[in-house]
């Protein structure tokens, strides 16, 4: 996953904030979460969706019947997502097999071929 430098910088800045400041920087939306949990869950707006506009990262939490608990879970997921955005993959360099490893691989293949040739000669084929 390639992340633009501006998005990565925004994620780093957001991670430096405490929970209250991060909540203020996010758009928080409450909605009715469906699923198991009975009448209480199906009638109250306990689902939480948090969107961090600078990074365009959005997370939801609907597994609890309590809006407060879902808000805490969503905040944890948001921090985990922001942390993932800050990851910079290492630059990969093409490598060539050494002459010794090429020779060993060919010798091993040659031994297997000779073994098969001896096997066929024993059976009279």
41: domain CATH number?
A: 3.30.160.20
Give the start-end residues of each E strand in the chain: 27-31, 47-52, 57-61
In a domain, 69, yes or no: yes
Give the residue among 79, 97, 88 at the shortest CA–CA distance from 15.
79
Same domain for 28 and 77, yes or no, is yes
In a domain, 27, yes or no: yes
Per-residue model confidence as pLDDT tens digits over 71-93 = 999 999 999 999 999 998 899 99
Confidence of residue 1 (pLDDT cuts 50, 70, 90): low
Same domain for 25 and 46, yes or no, is yes
Same domain for 48 and 107, yes or no, is no
pLDDT for the residue 46:
86
Q: Assess whether pLDDT exceeds 60 at residue 25.
A: yes
What's the predicted TM-score (pTM) here? 0.69
């Amino acid at each position: 996953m390639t992340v633009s430098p501006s998005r990565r910088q925004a994620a780093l800045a957001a991670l430096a904030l405490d929970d209250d400041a991060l909540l203020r920087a996010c758009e928080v939306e409450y909605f009715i979460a469906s699923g198991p949990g009975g009448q209480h869950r199906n009638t109250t707006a306990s689902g939480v969706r948090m969107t961090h506009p600078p990074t365009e990262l959005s997370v939801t939490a609907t597994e609890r019947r309590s809006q407060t608990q879902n808000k805490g879970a969503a905040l944890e997921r948001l921090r985990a997502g922001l942390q993932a955005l800050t990851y910079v993959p290492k630059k990969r360099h093409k490598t060539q097999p050494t002459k010794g490893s090429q020779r060993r691989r060919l010798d091993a293949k040659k031994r297997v071929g000779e073994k098969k040739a001896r096997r066929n000669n024993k059976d009279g084929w």
